[in-house]
Structure formats: C-alpha cells, structure tokens
Amino acid sequence: MDTQVIIVGAGPVGLTLAIDLGRRGVRCILLEQKAAPQFLPKMERCNARTMEIYRRMGLAEKIRAAGFPSDVPMDVFIVTSLVEPPLLRLEYPSVAQAREQIAATNDGTQPLEPYQLISQYTLEPLLKSVADAMPNIDVRYGCEFMSAEQDADGVRARVKRGSIIETISADYLVGCDGGSSLVRRQLGIRLQGDANLMQFRQALFKCDDLFDRIPIGKGRHYHVADDRATFLIVQDSTKHFTLHAVVDTDADMATQFEKTVAMPVRYEMLSVGQWRQNLLLADKYRDGRIFLAGDSVHLVIPTGGLGMNSGVGDAYDLSWKLAATLQGWGGPKLLDSYEIERRQIGGRNVEASRQASRGRRAWRAMYRPNIRDNTPEGAATRAELTRIADVEQRKSNEMIGAELGYRYVGSPVIADEGEGPPHEFMTYVPTSWPGVRLPHVWLDDGTALHDKIGDGYTLLRFGGSAANSAPLARAFAGYGVRFAALDIADARPREVYGCDLLLVRPDLHVVWRGNSLPGEAQKLAALATGH
C-alpha cells in the first residue's frame, strides 16, 4: 500500500480527520483539487463540542489565537439598519465571559470549552499548517480525485496532478469532498430530503473601520428585517463581513450592503457567489472500505451552525475507529458502528436546522413595508415582529442540546440500557447514559476530568469504589488496546454522573456504567472494541 488512508477533500473536516489520524500514528494521503486554501467565507463558528475535540487534539488555543477577539460579545441583532435602534438584541457572552461562567460552574451543564468564531478561510490554512508538519501525513493540493475501486484487500484511487494521472493504493478511503461529493456519487449513494429550498447570494466585503463604528452595539450577526432575508455576519478579523440576501444580480449585493450599513464607509466587495438552502441526508455513510464524512453525507441550512461542526464530529468518530482497525485491536463491529452512530446524528442535526430555519422564516414573515413608519400601524408591525423573533430567532442561536446532548443509540459498541432520555435541541441536561458525551466536570484541584482521560479506554471509579479492574484490564490487554483505571476521590463527579463506575472510550463517549463491574469482563471488553 502507498498509504493507510486516502482522504479526499481538504476542508476543515478532511484536515481534522487527517490530523487526528496522524496523531494516532496512521499514515494518510490528503488530496485536494484546489491549488491552495481559498479566501472564501463558509463556516464561521466552531461550537463548544468542536472546541472540546480540538482541545483533545492540542489545537484549541491555536484556533482561539487566530479567531474572533475573546473580549467581543457574540450578540445577535435584528435591525432595520446598523444605525437605527435595534428591534431586538439577543445577548450572548464573549469567549472570555463564557470561560468565566464555565470556571464557576461544576454541575455538568457547561462544556469544557466555549464556542469560537473563526472563519473557514482562517481555519483551513491553520489546519493545513498543522497537517503539513506531521511526518505521516502527505498533503497534496492541486491533486484531483478521479475515481476509486475497492476489493477485500484495499482501495485504489486514480488521481490527476497537472497532466499526470497515477493510482494510489490504501487500506481505506474517506470522502470529505463536500455536498457535490464525487466519491459519494461514484458509489451511487443518494442524498434524501429537501433540496433548493431557497437561493441566496453571498458576498464578502472588506471594510476596515465598520465594526468600530457600528453605533448600536458590537455582535456577530445582524439580521435585517426586510423582504430580502438580508443577514450580515462579522468575520473573525472584524475587518471582513459576509452579506447574504435574496437579490437579482451580483451588483445588487453592493447596494444591499450600503442599505444595511446606512452610513458612509469605504469598502471593497471581494467576492460574490450563490448558494442554495438544503436539508439532505445520505442513505449510507459507507460502502466497504470507502467512508463518507461532513457535507458529503449531510447538508443543513446554516441556522444553528451545525454543518461543519457535525462534520468534525464525523471525523473524530471515524478517526479512532480507523486507527483501531489498522492497529489490529478494533473488531469488525467498530467500523460498522461509524454509520450507525453518525448517521443518526446527521439526521437529528438536519431536523434541528429545519426547526431553526422555520423559526427564522416565522419572524421574517411578519415584515411589512411600514416597519419604519412613525404610525400606530408601523409600531404594531415592529412590536409583532420583535415578539415573534424573541422566541423564534433563539432556535438558531441556542442549540446547546444538539451540540452537547447528542447520544449514540443502538450502537453495537455501546451498552444498551433501553430508550434513554429524550433528545433536545435547545436544552442540555447532563447524564451518564451510555452513548452520551461525558459531561465536563471540574476536579477539586481545578483540573478538568476530560484532561485526565487518555486516548485508550478508561474505567472511571468514583466514591471510593473498590471495584477490581484487573479482569477488565486483562480483557482489554488481550486485544492489544490501551486501558487505564482512574480513581476519582472528589465527590462532585459522582454526584453528576450518578454511578460509581463509568467505562469511557477514546472519544469521551460513555460505553457502559454501573455500580459494580459485570461478572464477565471479557464480554464488556469485546463489546467496547467491536468484537
């Protein structure tokens, strides 16, 4: 084999997958058709769970240093323009404020890491620089994926660089090549759902002094109450802005920007493009030795910011399972569990995005041309739109349940305790139910329990439990996998998790819980490792 894993597509998802595989000792070739990362706005926020993942990968602080200033609030406005009193201001803490709140809370309800606003054109080169520096990752830009074939022994991909066509062989291939994924289409895997719900233009503007001059307050999103669905996003530099609107021509985007800003500024329109709203989910995430992740298997409306973040979750789930299989300790059910676990999350996040999009449409439907009129009718329009927006716009901005509360149900590598708690999009209730992300808890010494857990399987023992972990350690050792037992004397984790023992896997999802170890340790180790 030329390598162990071929990754097609060097967006944030493909790069995250490559880096995490690389740090686990797996050799990868990363193929990207573009000659270099492009200066185009796409995603603009890493949510709390994504930042926890990047913390595990050692990248969180590097990403924060490159992103939106930590002292700027993440407020969301509904306005008629940037110079008129806002109809609604939804206040959300800056990263610095969120960190203070996290530090002061120890009931499992907070993430370990707050969100981070960072533009894709900043994040992509940052991740590329990390991948470039890893000796077992071969990053190939300007290299076009053409086709792949597979058999029981491996995958062979035909790729084109310039005028040269070559074949690369690997154990596995992962398509992270976006919504129009060639990898997916060649496999004959269909996207199902609602396509082309609405078409927008998106333009990127450079305007050095606008952010400092906004008189109504600093934030990240400014939704304009008009008949064009106008929406201004502050990018991470605070010198660049993305405008979305339903207009007829590219030139109309400059006019729309001026109407929204409503004060004299010097600006440059750097790019204009069109995009369509889609709510789509792939029928399958895998065909044999070929896997799919990110937008190649789920397309959501950006309401709620679940697109790229769902893709990072895909990459993180798949990475350790591929590494386990290649290193010989992962059983056949481990790779099978990737589609079972992540496709259900893709489906739930499509529905969360749908709910948020409906909410946004609900308040926008209240727009009337008299919204600025100094008349009783104008006042009534403003009041009704604001009343509905105060409920419905929150569905786009308060997705903590979808971000932290997702749970893998029916996975062959997670203990089955039955139906489990309900899945909520906007609220998060910490639990230790098998399949959940382990809730974050501070230890008495000020460290995070997450940071004490390594990249193997970990048995957490709370409340002075005397459970003998030796049989379980022997069972995991029989598969050649790392295992550790970690005693936590602090009272708070036991109160939050509600049991004496938790078995946690490398991605910090709970495999099993109980107050005493099962009699047959071998069965638990076999379940957890996919045997």
> What is the rounded CA–CA span in Å between residue 379 and residue 392?
20
Could you tell me where the beta strands, DSSP code E, fall in 209-359?
221-224, 231-234, 240-245, 268-276, 279-282, 286-287, 290-292, 298-299
Structural tokens at position 214: 């906004």
Report helix, strand or coil for 249.
Answer: coil
pLDDT at 324 over 90: yes
Percentage with pLDDT > 90 across the chain: 96
Model confidence at 139, pLDDT cuts 50, 70, 90, reads: very high
Residues in the chain: 531
Taking Cα atoms as reference points, which of 449, 502, 441, 508 lies closest to residue 110?
441
Residue 43: the pLDDT is 83
Place of tokens 């750097």: 270
Domain 5-66+118-193+279-336: CATH class, spelled out: alpha beta
pLDDT at 235 over 90: yes
Considering only CA atoms, give the Rg of the chain. Answer: 24
Could you tell me which residues come within 8 angstroms of residue 38 by beta carbon, excluding any fewer than 6 positions away?
121, 124
Q: Would you list the DSSP string of 472-488? A: HHHHHHHTT--EEEEEE
> What is the rounded CA–CA span in Å between residue 315 and residue 10?
12
- The DSSP symbol for 339 reads H
- The DSSP symbol for 45 reads E
Q: Which CATH number does the domain 405-529 belong to among 1.10.10.10, 3.40.50.150, 2.40.40.20, 3.40.30.120?
A: 3.40.30.120
> What is the rounded CA–CA span in Å between residue 458 and residue 502?
8
| Ranges of each domain in the chain | 5-66+118-193+279-336, 68-114+198-276, 353-398, 405-529
Q: What is the pLDDT of residues 40-99, one digit of tens each?
A: 888 889 999 999 999 999 999 999 999 999 999 999 999 999 999 999 999 999 999 999
Place of tokens 């044999």: 288
Q: How many CB atoms are closer than 10 A to CB 82?
A: 22
Residue 304: the pLDDT is 81
pTM of the entire predicted model: 0.97
Are the CB atoms for 179 and 189 separated by under 8 Å? no
> What is the rounded CA–CA span in Å between residue 117 and residue 103?
20
Report helix, strand or coil for 46.
Answer: strand
> What is the rounded CA–CA span in Å between residue 81 and residue 368?
15
Structural tokens at position 400: 């903590």
How many Cα atoms sit within 13 Å of 2 on the Cβ side?
A: 15
Superfamily of domain 68-114+198-276: D-Amino Acid Oxidase, subunit A, domain 2 (3.30.9.10)
Average pLDDT over residues 512-527: 95
Place of tokens 């686990």: 24
> What is the rounded CA–CA span in Å between residue 20 and residue 73?
31
